[in-house]
């Protein structure tokens, strides 16, 4: 069956345009997707579109825009780049630059056509045209080589700032080549889509009114593109990511041992089975410190700390998982401890062991920590697919525990603290409407690497004292809330600006964030607006050469995030030794006591020292 016969005009002499459009689209769709020779039809369209896409010359304005975006893409961001970070950065930046160049070029040509024509001038000779062409090409090549070399040298500077071994030039070269290859593929795919739309217009032009031709072509092209994207993104990428996440959650690592202490979930005495805790939960409960380890590090007698955890199971709801956590708190008599900390985990249920161990060692084991798993997916996947469940999990757990504490006599209640890192901090904040409610309902909190799109964090940052930087805002006089880039910020403002803080009064809330942590500073507004932290340029471990460009900076910071937790502690998204001193201050312990033995003990447990 031929497309022409499928689009033969109807015999009805006066049908409406809408009816003719619907009939033609229906016939074309049946032709393309019919069981009768569908492959030949689709192959014909693909080949024709491919020929148009490959033979059409590149847009000069688009090429110039891609080149300029490539120059900006070599500029530094927060962390040193691997080859694939270079590739992603270059591909996204040049794609944006080419698109912008094409749009601006077309707009400029339309504007020129509307302007009065100037007096006729003598056209350039072929020789002059050739000189201008080669001169322009040489300038582009020279600027590109200079910007790339400068960008590679900046990467060495960033590596030194965050205590990493600098990458060699081959890493940058491979990444750039891969990025340009991806850009070429995206450009070809977009040109194929455009050529397909033009083919649809040619097919429909003889049978439909002009307006209907445009609408029909757009609908058919959009439908084809939507199906292709759905099959690629949802059918190939997302489903595989979800499948791998579920497999990883079920994996039983031979390196982890089931806890022997009855005060830890997953033990023989626990209501929660070892297998049901999930991969992250099993790692968390197996790392609980013993009373002997704590006593040896502190030089004082200690108790065995309580660690409570409930994993995500398909046979129970989130409310039932919260009830399981409360049941574990009942079983272990956690309400009798001096300190109770509710940790909200990241997407997979992961918790930072430095934070857990800090609480246990600093309290001499007289504490209980509790958390749950609300998902098996990574934080990035949770952010894309479902941001409500993490918030709901944090809110339900807090309300259940807060309700039990409120029913107890005030003098018998443990002090209640909240904590979370990354997406866990974002989810933990959902419990509170504002900072006043937070201070009224808890005895303290430690939020590390809080994403910049967290509402309360944003409100506190915007209400900072004038003259204090966005990376370390001073709220009020620091009586209750303090932002900390390093332990020294616990007692005086960042860079020593202004007088030292007065006494830190309970409840104490600490926001620990590094200037080089892309998780904190990435947010959608980077697409169109330069943030204050880039204007101020005051980060200790961030190069002053970091700039801002629409779209490009957004993806540069996004590309920094996946490996941000792999840099050394004190930089990026790695919060290690510093949380010991932060937790000591939030718990109200004597700041003059040296915590070095506790830090070394935790390092030894984690194999970091």
Q: Are 479 and 502 in contact (CB under 8 A)?
A: yes
* Same domain flag for 214 and 339: no
Peptide bond between residue 507 and the one before it cis (omega within 30 degrees of 0): yes
Could you please report the per-residue DSSP string of 293-339? HHHHHHSS---PPEEEEE---TTS-HHHHHHHHHHHHHHTTGGGSSE
Model pLDDT, residue 60: 82
Cβ contacts of 221 within 8 Å, gap of 6 or more: 193, 196, 197, 200
Q: Residue 12: its pLDDT value, please?
A: 40
Total domains in the fold of the chain: 3
In a domain, 608, yes or no: no
Looking at the fold, whether 311 and 420 belong to one and the same domain comes out as: yes
Residue position matching structure tokens 């089931």:
258
- Predicted TM-score (pTM) of this structure: 0.83
Kindly state whether residue 304 falls inside one of the protein's structural domains: yes
Predicted pLDDT of residue 345: 92
In a domain, 288, yes or no: yes
Flag residues of the chain having pLDDT under 70.
Answer: 1-57, 117-124, 225, 227-238, 495-498, 608-609
Among 449, 484, 510, the domain boundary falls at: 449
Ordered alpha helix ranges (H), 162-229: 169-205, 210-229
Tokens 């040049």, located at residue? 94
CB atoms within 10 A of CB 214: 15
Pair (71, 215) in one structural domain: yes
Examine residue 547 and state whether it is found in any structural domain, yes or no. yes
Cβ distance 362 to 389 under 8 Å? Answer: no
Q: Does 52 share its domain with 174? A: yes
Secondary structure class of 341 (helix, strand, coil): strand
Considering 219, 247, 275, which residue would you say is the last residue of a domain?
A: 247
Rounded (10°) angle between helices 169-205 and 126-161 = 130
Integer-rounded Cα radius of gyration of the chain: 30
Distance CA(214)–CA(204), nearest Å, equals 9
Coil, strand or helix: which one is 369?
strand
Give pairs for 81-85: CB < 8 Å, separation 24+. 81/155, 81/167, 81/171, 81/172, 81/175, 81/559, 81/560, 82/167, 82/171, 82/175, 82/563, 83/171, 83/172, 83/174, 83/175, 83/178, 84/175, 84/178, 85/175, 85/559, 85/560, 85/563
Identify whether 5 is part of a domain: no
Q: Which of 471, 461, 427, 464 has its CA nearest to residue 447? A: 427
| 224 and 96 in a common domain | yes
Are residues 407 and 313 located together in one domain of the fold?
A: yes
Are 421 and 397 in contact by the 8 Å Cβ rule? The answer is no
Torsion of CA 154, 156, 161, 162, to 10 degrees: 120
pLDDT at 52: 55
- Residues 443 and 459 occupy one common structural domain: no
pLDDT of residue 592: 85
> Angle between the 318-331 and 388-406 helix axes, to the nearest 10 degrees?
40
pLDDT at 54: 58
Mark whether 320 and 371 lie in a shared domain. Answer: yes
What the block records as the tokens of 328 is: 């574990």
Is 253 contained in some domain? no
Confidence (pLDDT) at 395: 95
Q: Show which of 449, 480, 504 is a domain's final residue.
A: 449
- Clarify whether residues 284 and 340 are in a common domain: yes
Indicate whether 197 belongs to any domain. yes
Whether residue 569 lies inside any domain: the answer is: yes
Indicate if 310 and 414 belong to the same structural domain: yes
Residues 356 and 374 in one domain: yes
Provide the residue range defining the domain that includes 462: 453-574
| 459 shares a domain with 441 | no
């Amino acid at each position: 069956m031929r497309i022409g016969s499928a689009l033969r005009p109807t015999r009805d002499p006066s049908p409406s345009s809408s009816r003719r459009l619907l009939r033609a689209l229906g016939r074309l769709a049946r032709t393309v997707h019919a069981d009768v020779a569908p492959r030949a039809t689709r192959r014909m369209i693909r080949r024709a579109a491919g020929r148009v896409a490959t033979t059409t010359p590149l847009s000069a304005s688009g090429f110039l825009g891609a080149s300029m975006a490539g120059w900006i893409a070599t500029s530094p961001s927060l962390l040193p780049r691997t080859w694939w970070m270079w590739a992603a950065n270059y591909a996204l930046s040049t794609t944006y630059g080419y698109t912008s160049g094409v749009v601006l070029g077309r707009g400029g040509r339309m504007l020129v056509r509307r302007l009065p024509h100037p007096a006729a001038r003598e056209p350039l000779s072929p020789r002059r045209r050739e000189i201008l062409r080669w001169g322009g090409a040489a300038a582009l090549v020279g600027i590109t080589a200079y910007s790339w070399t400068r960008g590679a040298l900046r990467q060495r500077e960033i590596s030194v700032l965050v205590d990493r071994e600098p990458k060699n030039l081959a890493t940058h070269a491979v990444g750039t080549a891969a990025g340009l290859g991806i850009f070429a593929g995206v450009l070809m795919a977009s040109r194929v889509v455009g050529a397909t739309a033009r083919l649809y217009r040619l097919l429909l032009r003889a049978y439909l009114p002009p307006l209907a031709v445009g609408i029909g072509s757009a609908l058919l092209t959009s439908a084809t593109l939507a199906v292709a994207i759905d099959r690629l993104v949802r059918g190939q990428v997302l489903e595989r990511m979800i499948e791998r996440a579920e497999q990883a959650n079920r994996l039983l690592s031979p390196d982890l041992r089931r806890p022997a202490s009855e005060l830890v979930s997953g033990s023989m005495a626990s209501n929660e089975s070892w297998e049901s805790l999930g991969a992250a939960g099993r790692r968390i409960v197996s790392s609980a410190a013993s009373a002997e380890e704590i006593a040896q590090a502190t030089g004082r007698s200690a108790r065995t700390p309580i660690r409570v955890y409930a994993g995500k199971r398909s046979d129970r709801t989130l409310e039932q998982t919260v009830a399981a956590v409360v049941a574990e708190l009942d079983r272990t008599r956690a309400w009798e401890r001096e300190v109770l900390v509710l940790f909200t985990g990241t997407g997979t249920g992961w918790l930072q062991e430095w934070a857990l161990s800090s609480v246990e060692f600093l309290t001499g084991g007289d504490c209980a920590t509790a958390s749950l798993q609300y998902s098996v997916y990574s934080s990035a996947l949770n952010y894309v697919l479902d941001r409500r469940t993490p918030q709901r999990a944090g809110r339900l757990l807090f309300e259940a525990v807060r309700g039990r504490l409120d029913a107890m006599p005030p003098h018998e209640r443990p002090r209640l603290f909240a904590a979370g890192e990354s997406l866990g901090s974002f989810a933990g904040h959902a419990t509170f409407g504002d900072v006043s409610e937070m201070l009224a309902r808890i005895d303290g909190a430690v939020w590390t690497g809080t994403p910049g799109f967290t509402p309360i964090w944003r409100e506190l940052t915007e209400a900072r004292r004038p003259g204090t930087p966005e990376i370390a805002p001073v709220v009020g006089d620091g009586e209750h809330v303090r932002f900390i880039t390093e332990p020294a910020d616990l007692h005086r403002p960042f860079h020593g600006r202004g007088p030292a803080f007065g006494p830190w009064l309970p409840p104490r809330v600490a926001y620990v964030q590094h200037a080089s942590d892309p998780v904190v500073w990435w947010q959608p507004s980077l697409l169109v607006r330069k943030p204050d932290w880039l204007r101020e340029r005051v980060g200790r471990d961030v190069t002053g050469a970091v700039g801002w460009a629409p779209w490009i900076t957004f993806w540069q910071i996004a590309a920094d995030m996946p490996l941000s937790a792999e840099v050394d502690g004190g930089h990026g998204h790695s919060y290690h030794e510093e949380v010991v001193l932060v937790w000591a201050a939030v718990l109200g312990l004597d700041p003059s006591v040296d915590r070095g033995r506790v830090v070394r003990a935790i390092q030894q447990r984690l194999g970091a020292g």
